[in-house]
Amino acid sequence: MTEAIRIVVVDDDDLFRPMLVGNLGDAGFVVREFPAPDLALEALSAESVAAENNLDLLILDWKMPGLTGLELLQRLRQIGLMTPAIFLTSLDDVIYEEAALKAGAIDFVGKTRSFAILQRRIELALSRAEANGEEVLKESPDGIVQMGPLTLDAGSHAITWQSQPVNLTLGEFKSVALMVRAGRDVSYREIYDALRGENFAAGQGPDGYRANVRALIKRVRQKFIAVDPGFDAIENFPGFGYRWRNTDKEA
């Protein structure tokens, strides 16, 4: 998976960046690094089409001098560079993650996570992007999201599947919207935080919230199955969470 994968790392931390680049190189990735977002923007803008054709992934820090990582991603999208991006940052508040995913990032990973976890997230993100293609998820300026037979209206919190309405509660809608926009495995904790706020305690023990999330997703599945008995777009990863699987090719 890692053979010939080309990654650009943009991070102003002169201690963390070399360590990350070294780990990526040892794992078999071909890495190019920039210590500042303006340098990355200048170089990638000048290369334009060449950069798109010779780059598989962006790994971006968030808080950097000049442009933030989010602003850098937005500028790159404006010049047509649609390379998948992962934010690797010390900012772990859900509002930053939501902003990153809304801007088109495919994942959001905390710097406290081990390199093994980051590598796995890179591999999952790239394999899914390759399988699904670049134009799977389409979102209009007014918040209408389309992915295969799914249409999601962020303004009215309405969802249709195969042109049929699916009557979800607001919490159920948020869970589906989170999975669809993330385009990756979403943890039990992420889903619960999106519903109740970060680190809200629920259930018995430190992981009690998982039962709540499992019950929620079970209800969501049942409502989609009522519309389409063959519905199977929500995949479970025991011990971690859920993923919304693109079904465009089968639809």
Asked if residue 69 has pLDDT above 90, the reply is yes
User: Of 209, 173, 206, nearest to 188 (Cα)?
Assistant: 209
Asked if residue 250 has pLDDT above 50, the reply is no
- pLDDT tens digit sequence for 186-224: 888 888 888 765 444 555 544 667 888 999 999 999 999
Q: Identify which has the larger pLDDT, 114 or 104.
A: 114
Q: How much of the chain exceeds pLDDT 70, in percent?
A: 82
Three-state DSSP class for residue 29 = coil
Res 134: pLDDT:
43
- CB of 111 closer than 8 Å to CB of 16: yes
In eight-state DSSP terms, residue 82 is: -
Question: Last residue of some domain: 100, 132, 164?
Answer: 132
Is residue 251 one of the residues assigned to a domain? no
Res 208: pLDDT:
65
Domain that holds residue 225: 138-244
Helix intervals (H) in the chain: 16-26, 37-47, 49-53, 69-78, 94-102, 115-132, 170-182, 188-196, 209-227
Question: Last residue of some domain: 132, 149, 170?
Answer: 132
Reported confidence tier of residue 58, pLDDT bands at 50, 70, 90:
very high
Count of the separate structural domains present in the chain = 2
Mean pLDDT calculated for residue range 101-123: 84
Mean pLDDT calculated for residue range 149-165: 90
Question: Last residue of some domain: 132, 161, 194?
Answer: 132
Asked if residue 93 has pLDDT above 50, the reply is yes
Is residue 64 one of the residues assigned to a domain? yes
